Chain A
């Protein structure tokens, strides 16, 4: 995984364009998550990971093992409390949501985190829209992502929305594409092992 996770993603437009939909194959979702975090922290971003696919504790250990600067990463965990019924110890710096389907609490948590990061180079990493689809109807997801993207634009923060490439139906994909500034297909890598965004 180390070799794959060192892949760099071309977020050079992240200053002017703020929001990206990142499409990945299901088997490379975790690897791509790490690659994105590495790229963003390397560019000096404070990254807020909203996770619904893996517990934040697991991701934390994974990032640490990959040598990612954890001071720049914080979590909003929607799945641990729901799946395990409790919060594991040593997770005080993480915000937990009762259920991935509780979009109200998730929206509040995102607003609070963004407020605490005002004035900093902040980026929200949403991992992943495809997993959230297990718990929430696509119409609600679409509305929620629209809400988040509007929020991010208002506070001048960046956002990256991870999704499984073939997991979105054409209508949802079109809607999500209109909310963001660009789409990145992680599986269509150009030479030089650098994934570039397309508008």
Chain B
């Protein structure tokens, strides 16, 4: 939307994510509407001496400017107010109604700008939160895949190694030394697989804040 003048946080300006083509289109629309408003002010108010009806078109310009450029639209409103007041003074139809009309230009523009800014700020916040959640989810899925890789088949290997050791022990002349050494290795494998599993649990617990404390403790024990 607004290419400049948008910040972050409550009360500040929100960021604009529109492309330059969109910004140019909007500027042209506002310029065109501004020219129509000035033409109406000159043609209808100055020459036809009528101050009724034509100012409704001003609100189209003011609302669009406020939606797209927030508080900066107040400059446009100020310009229209100045044009209306100057013409009224020149024509000689300056009344309380003129002042009220001018005030309405400013008030309506300010309200629309406030609502638009707040709406876009909330939208930007939701987008940031969404991307943060997606990023966390992506990291967790990657981690789960990695841990599955480091547990699924190692357990199969462990199982087959243990089965082979059992067969060896059931044989006529089991090589007890070899079995002892191999068992020590398989225990190391099992310990590391358990450590990997604890890491997975830790990651899940850290990610899911809704898990009760007792279960968190159990999963990471």
A residues lining the B interface (CB < 8 Å): 26-27, 29-30, 53-55, 57-58, 61, 79-80, 82-84, 88, 128, 130-131, 133-135, 137-138, 164, 166-169, 172
25 A/B residue pairs, CB under 8 Å, sorted by A? A26-B156, A26-B157, A26-B159, A30-B164, A53-B185, A54-B182, A55-B178, A55-B184, A55-B185, A57-B178, A58-B182, A61-B175, A80-B185, A82-B188, A83-B184, A88-B177, A130-B153, A131-B154, A131-B157, A133-B154, A137-B146, A137-B150, A167-B156, A168-B149, A172-B149
| Interchain CB contact under 8 A, B192 and A169 | no
| Interchain CB contact under 8 A, A79 and B188 | yes
Tell me which residues across on chain A come within 8 A of B207, comparing CB atoms: none
- The smallest beta-carbon distance between B153 and chain A, in angstroms, is 3
The yes or no answer to B49 lying at the interface (CB within 8 A) is no
Among A53, A128, A169, chain B packs the most CB atoms within 10 A around the CB of: A53
Within 8 A of A (CB), among B119-165: 145-146, 149-150, 152-154, 156-157, 159-161, 163-164
Distance between Cα atoms of A90 and B50 in the complex (Å)? 113
The yes or no answer to B196 lying at the interface (CB within 8 A) is yes
Tell me which residues across on chain B come within 8 A of A29, comparing CB atoms: 157, 160
> Other than the known A26-B159, A84-B181, A84-B185, what 9 A-B pairs have Cβ atoms closer than 8 Å?
A29-B160, A55-B182, A58-B178, A83-B185, A83-B188, A88-B181, A134-B189, A138-B146, A167-B153
Residue of B nearest to A170 (CB): B145
Given A57-B178, A82-B188, A84-B181, A134–B154 Cβ distance below 8 Å?
yes
Distance between Cα atoms of A57 and B180 in the complex (Å)? 11
Tell me which residues across on chain B come within 8 A of A166, comparing CB atoms: 153
| Interchain CB contact under 8 A, A131 and B181 | no
Tell me which residues across on chain A come within 8 A of B153, comparing CB atoms: 26, 130, 133, 164, 166-167
- The smallest beta-carbon distance between A82 and chain B, in angstroms, is 6
Distance between Cα atoms of A55 and B196 in the complex (Å)? 22
Residue of A nearest to B159 (CB): A26
| Interchain CB contact under 8 A, B178 and A131 | no
Distance between Cα atoms of A54 and B185 in the complex (Å)? 7
Residue of B nearest to A166 (CB): B153
